[in-house]
Structure 1
Amino acid sequence: MKLIITGLSGFVGQNFLGYLKGRGVDVQDLSLRDMSWESKIALKADAIIHLAGKAHDTNRDVNINEYFEINRDLTIRLFDKFLKSDIKDFFYFSSVKAVADIVTGVLIEDVEGKPKTPYGQSKYEAEQYLLSQKLPQGRRLFIVRPCMIHGPGNKGNLNLLYKVVEKGLPWPLATFKNERSYLSVNNLNFLIYEMLRKDSLTSGVYNLSDDQSISTNHLIEIISNTLEKKAKLWNIPSCLIKSAVRLGSLIPFTPLNSERLKKITESYVVSNKKIKEALGIKKLPLTTEEGLINTIQSFKNNK
């Protein structure tokens, strides 16, 4: 099997490359930062896996145009190149945020897209272009929408929560009751590899998430147990928290702003039923808790 992968130097790319070792897969690293990438792409391969993109940035001084130039326009150029080749499969790594910033109930694939952020809008517009194109016979398009991916080497909100517990600080947001889906990079690697191997899998949009959702309070307890500390959960009234964070949003160096508060405390449950049924699997290799413990242990070991 030969794969062309963009964004190979990133967190997901490096983890997937490690997963492929020993599986007889030839990988071409295609850097879209290279202005001459179109002349360097191999036209003979089994699949293109398009990981490269501009990630969601919660900072205020973000160039909005970059989201569309990178997430939409580059994707379109790469997909047009795919259509003119003999490559069988095209994987586009989109995001659940391409269709929903807020989830009521459980997010499934056929929800009407209503992204609110430039990040989500750029991903959604790329999806719409890809889905509007006619695929030649025998070719497949997979739009994968992962929820929050985590694993060893990854920073972000999990690392923020880890530091709170590590320092022995109380978690002041316990009053927020929620359920969130996560995606271990180990489970992600497994799913993408199985999708590549299953010839009968049909083109389409697939959500990717772990099997179980958990609350942020439960996550704090998992981190505490992993660090052999007692979980400290404080139930401060949510109105006071939101008022304090609104003020904090105006200060760039404040670790918790309104956007991060939303990411940590909102409910966001994503269904992985469609992809599991399509692949004929009942459960993923790692439970949500096992995957999170692996990530937390990596923070602990890399101090």
Structure 2
Amino acid sequence: MTPTTNEPVKILITAQNSYIGNNFSNWVKDKPQFETAYFSCRDEKWVETDFSKYDVILHVAGIAHIEAKANQESLYYKVNRDLTIQLAQKAKREGVKQFIFLSSMIVFGESNRKNGNIVITRNTQPSPSGFYGDSKLQAEQGILPLHSEHFKVAIIRPPMVYGRNSKGNFPKLAALATKLPIFPKIENQRSMLYIENLCAFIQCLIDHQEHGIFHPQNEEYVNTTELVGLIARVQNKKMIFIKAFNPLVKLFSKRMDRLNKLFGTYKYSKEMSAYRKNYWVYSFKESIWLTERGQ
């Protein structure tokens, strides 16, 4: 996005302690063409925020999947769907040029004991399996009609986002890599996205005033065994990988969703993630080194 004057592009991030929001702000902090600010959506005071002085709203606030509890279903729709739509409507009314919404790969469903091999292509239709994914999908459906020539709506459906100090399943895998002496040797493929590759992609969307739905991922698919082994090597831990556990893994994967999330295939086809500009700042191996060593 090129400002009409020498003023930087002003970006408002809709969370004060968001992992993605904080990392993106850090990503552009030394780039004079951008200026970021935060505001909180935790109470109703956000309605008094003046959006008119911002060019872009980066909406990352929401209730995360890892926090999902059955008795909070209505809260998920209130925050992930209703708040998103209200923010986008306010942004359009007040002259914001672009609204970027962080949705999720989970709008296509999840790898589970009933389906441990999911390959998402351009022809795959969203089919969320829980209220987290459904609340994200309904938010998308609510803001897409707001798109216009002067109000660009961009939706990002990232796979697992990881990096230094990330939350979710990645740090659990990292913990296994430092504690277990042996690990199953499984052949699977997962789409993942290193946080700085995601930040580079968000910058691309802003630079080119993009609109539509996007599915970024790392350039390489990730194999769970390879991931755990690489983490172990970075941490100078010895680990043995054996296929003897594979029959047990397959057996229990049919009974346990958690095992499918570890060892099942869950990926975007590569063509879904292609973009006009290379946003793969770091390779998979480089990203693990940076995540685990912070160098």
TM norm structure 1: 0.84
Find the counterpart in structure 2 of residue 262 from structure 1.
260
Looking at structure 1, the residues matched to 246 and 123 of structure 2 have their Cα atoms a distance apart, in angstroms, of: 36
Question: Structure 1, residues 229-256: CA drift from partner, whole Å, max 9, x if none?
Answer: 332224324446754996xxxxxxxxxx
% same residue: 26
Give the letter aligned to residue 135 of structure 1: H
Looking at structure 2, the residues matched to 245 and 58 of structure 1 have their Cα atoms a distance apart, in angstroms, of: 24
Distance 1:244 1:99, change over 3 A: closer
Confirm whether residue 70 of structure 1 aligns to residue 79 of structure 2. Answer: yes
Query: How far is the alpha carbon of 1:139 from its aligned partner?
Result: 2.2
Confirm whether residue 125 of structure 1 aligns to residue 134 of structure 2. Answer: no
Q: Could you tell me which runs of 5 or more consecutive residues in structure 2 were left unpaired when the two chains were aligned.
A: 1-8
Query: How far is the alpha carbon of 1:58 from its aligned partner?
Result: 6.4
Find the counterpart in structure 2 of residue 284 from structure 1.
280
Distance 1:109 1:204, change over 3 A: farther
Find the counterpart in structure 2 of residue 219 from structure 1.
227
Find the counterpart in structure 2 of residue 194 from structure 1.
204
Residues 99, 113 of structure 1: 8 Å contact kept: yes
Looking at structure 1, the residues matched to 206 and 218 of structure 2 have their Cα atoms a distance apart, in angstroms, of: 19
Give the letter aligned to residue 270 of structure 1: Y
Confirm whether residue 182 of structure 1 aligns to residue 192 of structure 2. Answer: yes
Query: How far is the alpha carbon of 1:109 from its aligned partner?
Result: 4.7
Question: Structure 1, residues 40-75: CA drift from partner, whole Å, max 9, x if none?
Answer: 132221111100011112665651222111111111
- 2:157 aligned to 145, 160, 166, which one? 145
Looking at structure 2, the residues matched to 106 and 18 of structure 1 have their Cα atoms a distance apart, in angstroms, of: 33
Distance 1:244 1:43, change over 3 A: closer
TM norm structure 2: 0.86
Alignment of 1:148-167 (within 5 A): 148-167=160-179
Distance 1:100 1:50, change over 3 A: same
Question: Structure 1, residues 169-216: CA drift from partner, whole Å, max 9, x if none?
Answer: 322x43x421111101010111111211114x4x21000110000211
Question: Structure 1, residues 275-297: CA drift from partner, whole Å, max 9, x if none?
Answer: 543x333x611112211222122
- 1:206 aligned to 201, 211, 214, which one? 214
Query: How far is the alpha carbon of 1:111 from its aligned partner?
Result: 2.2
Find the counterpart in structure 2 of residue 28 from structure 1.
37
Find the counterpart in structure 1 of residue 293 from structure 2.
297
Give the letter aligned to residue 169 of structure 1: P
Find the counterpart in structure 2 of residue 251 from structure 1.
none
Residues 50, 90 of structure 1: 8 Å contact kept: yes
- 1:18 aligned to 20, 23, 26, which one? 26
> 2:155 aligns to what SS in structure 1?
strand
Query: How far is the alpha carbon of 1:124 from its aligned partner?
Result: 0.8
Distance 1:29 1:297, change over 3 A: same
Looking at structure 1, the residues matched to 254 and 175 of structure 2 have their Cα atoms a distance apart, in angstroms, of: 18
Looking at structure 2, the residues matched to 23 and 109 of structure 1 have their Cα atoms a distance apart, in angstroms, of: 34
Question: Structure 1, residues 52-99: CA drift from partner, whole Å, max 9, x if none?
Answer: 011112665651222111111111111111221211101010001012
Give the letter aligned to residue 81 of structure 1: K
Find the counterpart in structure 2 of residue 254 from structure 1.
none
Report the number of matched residues: 281
Query: How far is the alpha carbon of 1:269 from its aligned partner?
Result: 1.5
Looking at structure 1, the residues matched to 293 and 44 of structure 2 have their Cα atoms a distance apart, in angstroms, of: 39
> 1:63 aligns to what SS in structure 2?
helix
Distance 1:31 1:110, change over 3 A: farther
Residues 217, 273 of structure 2: 8 Å contact kept: no
Give the letter aligned to residue 150 of structure 1: Y
Residues 182, 288 of structure 1: 8 Å contact kept: no
Query: How far is the alpha carbon of 1:146 from its aligned partner?
Result: 0.6
Distance 1:82 1:285, change over 3 A: same
